[in-house]
Chain A
Amino acid sequence: MRRGLILLGALLALAACQQTPAPRQALFVVLPGDDGHIGAITVNDGKREILLDRPYAASESRGGVTAPVQTSEVEVRQVFGAALAARPILPVHFRLYFQTGSDRLTPESDAAYRAVFDDIRRRPVYQVEVVGHTDTTGVAARNQDLSQQRAASMRDRLVRDGIAAGAITTAGRGELDQAVPTARGVDEPRNRRVEVTVR
């Protein structure tokens, strides 16, 4: 047993002597996205640019040189476990729709409101952005007002339900940002909406 350990130690020392790689200065890794969307990064050390575009594709810097390197889920967990554990709950985006010319939600969106509320409440600290929109029927100036009313009615409901008013910002974009681009004067239900970002 002891002789085995000595032999192993000697082999390791020999391997270290033969390779003596410069210590790692930096590690860059693409991680799998939560939504299955695969990302990509480039790493440029001034001499060349490396594209990393698969989960766990990685490069490292040693002795000032950056080159591709193998990594694994296990190594990522070791190196980045604490950082990943501190990752905030990711932002979530909602769309709720309104009745024509009104700041009243459609019945479907009235039911979907609960999901917005629940998502806010699961966060220890939160910020909520509400941006109102209209379709292109009616007068543009009136639509600007209506879009602000839609955002305000959403904010008021959240505040009534206990969400902190100071954490909510509202804006109205009138008919400027259509979800479904239309000509003027088109009654498009998908444009009568608020976009809610919870983070």
Chain B
Amino acid sequence: MHKFVWAGVATLALAGLAGPAMAAGAVIGQVKTVAGQAFVLRDGGRVAARPGDAVQEKDVLETGADGAIGVTFIDNSVFSSGPNSQVSLEEFSFDSSNFKGAMTSEVRRGTLTVVSGDIARSTPGSMKVKTPTAIMGVRGTTFAVQVKP
């Protein structure tokens, strides 16, 4: 266990030397479900996603030809994507004491289904989903988007 942790620290240190310092991004959600090939893209890296992994602002969720991924955010919004998808979590802010916040994500390709949470409910107009052809404003709650490559 200790060896494992130290290996992780060493890897982080090397990553820090090799490129820009890893952003200490705030945790905005958690990977809940994974099927097939699913990844989290962060700071130029690409890591296989596992249930329980933390999700940060600016992460990109990506799935392969047989992949799917589900994420629940700290405002209780729920995202899930099917195969060949790429969804960028561009902007996320949330104050759990008054449930206000803002969330902008972008579906670059593939599918995304959403159940919106506290941000969309408490702050009208503050949850947006961008696509290459149009921007969605979310009043709530359950919807789906497909973007063809």
Contacts and interface: CB of A to CB of B under 8 A. Distances in A.
B32 interface: yes
B143 A83 contact: no
Contacts of A123: 32
B144 A80 contact: yes
B132 A88 contact: no
Interface of A: 23-34, 37, 39-46, 49, 52-53, 59, 61, 64, 66, 76, 79-91, 123-125, 127, 129, 171, 173, 177, 197, 199
Nearest to A123: B32
Interface of B: 30-35, 51-52, 68-72, 76, 78, 80-83, 85, 96-97, 111-113, 115-117, 131-148
Contact of A83 (B30, B81, B140): B81
Contacts of A26: 131-134, 145-148
Given A41-B139, A125-B31, 4 more contacts: A28-B134, A81-B82, A83-B111, A171-B96
A61 B144 CA distance: 14
A127 B142 contact: no
9 contacts: A29-B144, A34-B142, A44-B135, A45-B134, A61-B134, A86-B34, A87-B80, A88-B70, A125-B52
Contacts, number: 154
A88 B111 contact: no
A27 B70 CA distance: 20
Nearest to B52: A125
Given A27-B145, A83-B82, A83-B113, A40 B134 contact: no
Contact of B33 (A32, A87, A91): A87
A86 B146 contact: no
A31 B113 contact: yes
A124 B34 CA distance: 11
Contacts of B116: 39
Contacts of A177: 97
Q: Which of A33, A34, A171 has the most CB of B within 10 A?
A: A33
A76 B97 CA distance: 36
A91 B78 CA distance: 8
